[in-house]
Chain A
Amino acid sequence: MSQTDNKTKHTAVTSGTAKKQQTAKETKKIPGVIKLYLGLFIIACVAGVIISIVSYFGKDKIKRNASVSIEFTYDGAAQNKTPGGEQFSINGITSEHVLSDALEIAGFKDKYTIDDLRSGMVVSGVYPQNVINRIKQYDSLYDFSESRTVSLDDYYPTVYSITLYDEFDSSISDSDLNKIVESIASSYKAYFINKYSYAYDMTDYNGLLKITDYDYTQRVKILKLRLGLLERYSGEMYKTNTSFRKNGISFNDIMLKASHIENESLSRTEATIITDVLTVSSARLRNQYEYEIQILENEKTYKNANLEEINALIDSYQTDGILYIPAGETVVKVESNSKETYEKLTDKKVEISKRLVEIDSEIERYNSYLEDLKKATYTASAKNDSIDTKLKEIEESVNELEKSFDVLVKEYNNSIVNESSVVLTDSKFSGAKLLSGSFIVSAVKRTVPLCIIVLLVCCIHMFFIENRKYRAEQKAKM
């Protein structure tokens, strides 16, 4: 049978070569079929592209928009704070101020309204991927592997993207849309820098407290208030930035100088006023003291009575003893509300006693002022004049200190909140265009599978043709 084997082998070989010859022949013939296949292939590609065009402009249509990114680079932006440490919100960008400026800069003030812009604007923060899942995540105690998703407590974006859609005017040109969105961003930047600047301007308040209208003790009070406000503000500024200096002055210097004026010159002046009983109008002063004393005495009488009554009430309050009841192996303490009530009563008592102590000291103070006033002799007009000038001097130094603080604060603004705190990118346009990246991606996604399927069908068809031919050959041989 080896012969037949050989024969079959031979026939196999010959048929193989024959087949090859045949395929060679067929390849010359096949062009017709291949043309058919190519035709089908091209039809598939075109169909894919058409389908994606139709859906791109129909179902999945992207609205025309221009977008800009704003990045905040100052300290604290990542914690959602303004440069001043308050809560930040990007909502300022849709405020009237910003949008009307933007329209003016872009030159469309007469064409579009602020509401037009608002209807087309979308402002959103740029968040890292997966941020929601990471916030939902918690650090499992059991599953502490290195490859776990790291959980996030909170995330505040420092980059925001502003997108302007053509909702308000679908006939607007691409470049105009870009122009408007860029001017919105730059107008917001100017607004931001302006808004978070500090200032110190006491002119309105100082106008209300015109020193010369008042008596000396009152003038001292006014100056004390102004120095106190200055000290507080400069202290706050110092805390936010201990190293800031300009022209050799820091916030700390101003704070110390203010407290120096208060503790030295002002309190000395105050002491002189009180001991020498200097006043512009002694009659008014006497009125003041006597009035205060009268009111305080009234209060004292009735508060004393009140205190006695409360004391009696506390004494008569029947508290219960502390009770322990055995329960199983432990003891349980039985309490009612008496402790709470007792505490409330005691609180009231303490409040009244405290106030009585205050009243007593004030009455004493006024009485001593009154006595000095009665004893004083009024030839001291020279003393009055010197106090007048002294107070004026102090006022001048307070004015100057306020001014230099204002200057320092403005310098601070310039260094901390300035052009580099807000970074803008150029505008980016995206719309339904045939050459845009997203269209190309969706076209590829649709066309490639179609083409592959067509290819497969063609190959299967070719395979069957070949097979049929082969079988026909075999049959012919047999």
Chain B
Amino acid sequence: MTEIDKNVLKEVENNQKVEVVVKRESENGTAELDLVRVFSNMGKKKRVYAWVLIICMLVGLSVPMLMAELKDKTESVSAVITFLYDGAKLEQAPDETPLDINYITSSYILQNAINRTCLSENITVSSLERNMGIERLLTENTRQDLEVMEKVINEGKTGYDAVRDVIYQYDGKYILTLDNGFSSDPEAKNKVFLKGDELSNLLNNVIESYNEYFYETYMDMTLPDNNLDSISIEDHDYIEKLDEMVTMLNSLSEYCHDKDKEDFYEIRSKKDGMSFRDIDDCIKLIKDIDIDYLYAYVFYNGIAKDKKSMMTKYEFQLKNSQRELNVVEGNIKNNKQLISEYKNDKITISMTDQGTTQVNSAVTDYYNKLIMSQADDYVKKAELGETIANLNDKITGFKTGSSSKSQKEYVESELDSLVNICKALYSLTEEHAEEIIDSDSYKSSYMSYIGAQYVGESFFSANNIKKAVIGIVVGVVAALAIWFMDGFIAEFKRGSAESEMKKKEEVQA
């Protein structure tokens, strides 16, 4: 045993600590590296390395921070559209035709949106369309059902049949997403980026122009034609004028209680408190006490400016109606024959185990159609019959009635005031409709939306914080490694210096 070994052992006895000794066979003899001394070396330099540790941690923190700052942020904004009318959940438009939500990315809407937004860069319609996405939201129930079904399938449980029929129900909600980074070529590297609020403003304007398109298409607030001025034409006779007024008031009343406008039926004007419903009641009353009242007088007494031409006119109408009636009656007769001769399909059912057969007749669609058209024809016949009877009465009235000059004058003055009343009613309805169109609720009755929100990672998001922590840890590990290496190298040098010295001693000795 060499002296070195003896000394080592002595130290072991004295200090009772276990040492790890590294032996290395080298040309210069063995060199021993003492791990404890490595650590003590490290300890000596701990002040230096405390600073190194801190700096490495800071570097580890700042590198991901810088990277996050400098990285190409592809941000995106999202908005939610909710359709408010009834058919939306069944994917119908307000007039019950299928709703095509993809129209929101049509060039008309997008070009409108681009025109409205002040953008610092030029965005083309095609690049905008490429960056837009639409997502439909299922209802909560459907999603819960799907979740259950997935679990059942995944766990291979039975009872699959029970959950098999998940009905996909939609909520009438759509999520629109717009990504930043526009280019006309999807592979292009140079993308145009919008800054600041421009991206969200653009998406909001897309929704705005879609909303406008929507209510322009599906909401029709145009009033019926105002033909009241043409009533004042001298050519028309009294009853004709009255007929025209009746038609106009009827269409005005229908306008008020139109089913498409039922959202606005009860909305009250902020000026006079009337709603379409109230206006409708007024129209009906005026028709009753004014128009019908005069109509009765003229009709029953056969008052006309020019009896002969009135009679001719009504006789002409009578002939027309009669002809129509003949056609309808012919149809009815034909149908009757068809129906009585029609043989319905026979269904033969054989039940094999009992060996019996059964024959039943089934009603076909064609037969049903025949029956329904017959019923409609009957109604038409009744209506025509009424019209003809009334025309006959009118003609009789003209024949027998004697319209004196005073009666005519009375009727004329009444007619003038009636025309004025109708005109006033029309303009009151028009004002009300204009007020509704101007109101906020008009433009927001079909859809509401949550404006564009930035959906992306904030600077302090979990992801970024994770990266920062990793950076710090890496820094700490690096610092410790350097520290250890430093101590190790010192010890190594010491070891090799020792062996050098030993060699010299040996040489000397």
Q: Report Cα–Cα, A192/B51, bound state, in Å.
A: 64
Q: When the two chains form their complex, are residues B360 and A326 in contact, meaning their CB atoms are under 8 A apart?
A: no
Which B residue sits closest to A347, measured CB to CB?
B375
Q: Does B375 contact A200, Cβ atoms closer than 8 Å?
A: no
C-alpha gap A136/B139 in the complex (Å): 10
Q: Is the CB of A233 within 8 A of B386?
A: no
Interface-side segment among A79-87, A176-184, A385-393: A79-87
With A138-B140, A337-B368 as known contacts, state yes or no: A221 contacts B289, CB within 8 Å.
Answer: yes
Q: Are B382 and A305 in contact (CB under 8 A)?
A: yes
User: A208 is contacted by which of B78, B148, B421 (Cβ under 8 Å)?
Assistant: B421
Do B424 and A288 touch (CB < 8 A)? no
B-side contacts of A336, CB under 8 Å = 362-365
Tell me how far the C-beta of B402 lies from the nearest C-beta in chain A, rounded to whole angstroms. 14
* Number of residues of chain A lying within 8 A (CB) of chain B: 118
User: What mask results when residues 67 to 101 of chain A are scored 1 for a CB within 8 Å of chain B, else 0?
Assistant: 00000000000001010101111111001000000
**B498 engages A208 (CB within 8 Å):** no
With an 8 A cutoff between CB atoms, is A104 at the interface? no
**Do residues A318 and B361 form an inter-chain contact, with CB atoms below 8 A?**
yes
Q: Is the CB of B339 within 8 A of A316?
A: yes
Per the bound structure, the CA–CA distance linking A456 and B196 in Å amounts to 35
A residues 51-72 near B (Cβ < 8 Å) are 59-63
B69 within 8 A of A: yes
A292's closest neighbor in chain B, by CB? B296
Interface segment, one of B101-109, B182-190, B438-446: B438-446
Separation of A274 and B226 alpha carbons in the complex (Å): 38
Q: Which of B158-166, B244-252, B273-281 contacts A (4 or more CB under 8 A)?
A: B273-281
Known interface pairs A60-B195, A313-B375. Does A452 touch B59 (Cβ–Cβ under 8 Å)? yes
Please tell me if the beta carbons of A198 and B440 are within 8 angstroms of each other in the complex.
no
**Whole-angstrom distance between the Cβ of A129 and the nearest chain B Cβ:** 9
Per-position binary interface string of chain B over residues 329-368, scored 1 when its CB falls under 8 Å from any chain A CB and 0 otherwise = 0000000000110001001010100000000111111011
Interface residue A204 (Cβ < 8 Å from any Cβ of B) = yes
Which residues in B have their C-beta under 8 angstroms from that of A197? 270
Are A80's CB and B389's CB within 8 A? no
B-facing residues in A409-452 (Cβ within 8 Å):
409, 445-446, 448-450, 452
Number of interface residues, chain B, beta carbon within 8 A = 111
On chain A, the residues within 8 Å of B197 by CB distance are 122, 163
Q: Does B271 touch A at the CB level, under 8 Å?
A: yes
Chain A residues near B151: list those with CB within 8 A. 142
Interface residues of B in 360-396 (CB under 8 A from A): 360-365, 367-368, 371-372, 374-375, 378-379, 381-383, 385-386, 389-390, 393
**Is A112 among interface residues, defined by CB-CB distance under 8 A?**
no
| A133, chain B: closest CB distance, angstroms | 7
A interface footprint on B216-233 (CB within 8 Å = 1, 0 otherwise)? 000000000000000000
Are A306 and B379 neighbours in the complex by a CB distance under 8 Å?
yes
Chain A 217-234 per-residue mask, 1 if CB under 8 angstroms from chain B, else 0? 010011001001100110
B55 sits at the interface (CB 8 A)? yes
B4 at the A interface (CB under 8 A)? yes
User: In the bound complex, do residue A345 and residue B498 qualify as a contact, i.e. CB atoms below 8 Å apart?
Assistant: no
Residue of B nearest to A62 (CB): B196
Say if the beta carbon of B425 comes within 8 Å of chain A: yes
Contact B66 A208 (CB under 8 A): no
Interface of B is mostly: helix
Query: Is B288 located at the chain interface by the 8 A CB criterion?
Result: yes
Q: Contacting chain A: which of B16-24, B121-129, B448-456?
A: B448-456
Residue of A nearest to B379 (CB): A306
Q: How far is the CA of A115 from the CA of B98 in the complex (A)?
A: 37
Interchain nearest-CB distance for A158 vs B (Å):
13
Q: Provide the residues of chain B in CB contact with A5, threshold 8 Å.
A: 7
Tell me, yes or no, whether B147 is within 8 Å of chain A by CB: yes
CB contacts (< 8 Å) of A449 on chain B: these are 62-63, 65-66, 69
B118 contacts chain A at the CB level, 8 A cutoff: yes
Q: Once the chains are docked, how many angstroms separate the CA of A401 from the CA of B481?
A: 94
Number of A-B contacts (CB under 8 A): 273
State which of A28-36, A148-156, A243-251 sits at the interface with chain B. A148-156
Q: What residues of B have a CB within 8 angstroms of the CB of A141 in the complex?
A: 144, 147-148
Pairwise interchain contact B363-A199, C-beta atoms closer than 8 A: no
B293 interface hit (Cβ, 8 Å): yes
Q: Tell me, in angstroms, the Cα distance from A71 to B339 when the chains sit together.
A: 71
Contacts of B476 in A (CB 8 A): none
Residues of B within 8 A of A239 (CB): none
In the bound complex, residues from chain A placing their C-beta under 8 Å from that of B360 are 320-321, 323
Stretch of A256-264, A265-273, A295-303, A372-380 on the interface side: A295-303
Q: Which of A89, A299, A316, A321 contacts B443 (CB 8 A)?
A: A89
Q: How far is the CA of A298 from the CA of B274 in the complex (A)?
A: 37
CB interface residues, A 334-368, toward B, < 8 Å: 334, 336-338, 340-341, 344-345, 348
CA distance A202 to B364 in the complex (A): 58
- Decide: A142 near B147, CB < 8 A? Known: A60-B195, A318-B344: yes
Q: Is A167 an interface residue (CB 8 A)?
A: yes
Q: Are B272 and A124 in contact, with the CB atoms below 8 A?
A: no
- CB proximity to A under 8 Å, residues B191-216: 195-197, 200-201, 204
Nearest B residue to A326 by beta-carbon distance? B351
Query: Which residues of B from 249 to 279 have beta carbons under 8 Å from A?
Result: 267-268, 270-274, 277-278
CA–CA, A140 and B61, complex, Å: 37
Chain A residues contacting B274 (CB-CB under 8 Å) are 202, 205, 229
Cβ distance B504 to chain A, nearest Cβ, rounded Å: 11
Contacting residues of chain B (79-98) with chain A, CB-CB under 8 angstroms: 79-80, 82, 84
What residues of chain B lie closer than 8 Å to A476, measured between beta carbons?
none
> Which residues of the partner chain B approach A338 to less than 8 Å between Cβ atoms?
363, 368
Give chain A nearest CB distance to B471 CB in angstroms: 11
Q: Quick check: is B473 within 8 A (CB to CB) of the other chain?
A: no
- Name the distance in Å between A443's Cβ and chain B's nearest Cβ: 12
Rounded to whole Å, the gap between the CB of B373 and the closest CB of chain A is 11
- Chain B minimum-CB-distance residue to A92: B440
Q: A208-B282, A302-B386, A318-B363 are in contact. Are A136 and B175 (CB under 8 A)?
A: yes
Contact between A124 and B289 (Cβ–Cβ < 8 Å)?
no
Chain B residue nearest to A406 (CB atoms) is B273
For residue A448, which residue of chain B has the nearest CB?
A: B62
A16 in the interface, Cβ–Cβ < 8 Å? yes
Q: Would A140 and B147 be within 8 Å (CB), given that A229-B281, A302-B389, A317-B371 are in contact?
A: yes
B58 on the A face (CB < 8 A) = yes
Produce 1/0 per residue, A180-216, CB < 8 A to B.
0000000000000001111111111101110000100
Neighbouring A residues of B271 by C-beta, 8 Å: 199, 201
Q: Report whether A1 and B364 are in contact in the complex, using a CB–CB cutoff of 8 Å.
A: no
In contact, B273 and A200 (Cβ under 8 angstroms): yes
Residue of B nearest to A281 (CB): B297
Q: B361 to chain A: which residues have CB within 8 Å?
A: 318, 320
A199-B273, A446-B69 known; A156-B448 Cβ under 8 A: yes
Decide yes or no whether A43 CB sits under 8 A from chain B. no
A-contact bits for B45-66, CB 8 A (1 contact / 0 none) = 0001001100110110111011
**Across the interface, which residues of B come within 8 angstroms of A456, CB to CB?**
55-56, 58-59
Indicate if B494 sits at the interface (CB-CB under 8 A). yes
Q: Is A294 an interface residue (CB 8 A)?
A: yes
B444→A124 contact, CB < 8 A = no
Chain A residue contacts of B62, Cβ below 8 A? 448-449, 452-453
Q: Besides the contacts A163-B197, A204-B272, A345-B375, what 17 more A-B pairs have beta carbons closer than 8 Å?
A: A80-B448, A86-B439, A87-B445, A91-B440, A95-B438, A119-B118, A131-B453, A132-B450, A132-B453, A205-B272, A205-B274, A298-B389, A301-B385, A310-B378, A316-B339, A455-B55, A459-B52
30 contacts across the A-B interface (CB closer than 8 A): A1-B4, A4-B498, A8-B498, A61-B195, A86-B440, A87-B444, A120-B118, A127-B451, A131-B450, A140-B147, A142-B151, A154-B450, A156-B448, A200-B273, A202-B274, A209-B286, A232-B278, A233-B273, A287-B301, A290-B296, A298-B389, A299-B386, A301-B389, A302-B381, A344-B372, A348-B379, A448-B62, A448-B65, A453-B59, A455-B55
Q: 8 closest Cβ contacts across the A-B interface?
A: A449-B62, A291-B296, A306-B382, A86-B441, A89-B440, A89-B444, A200-B273, A302-B385
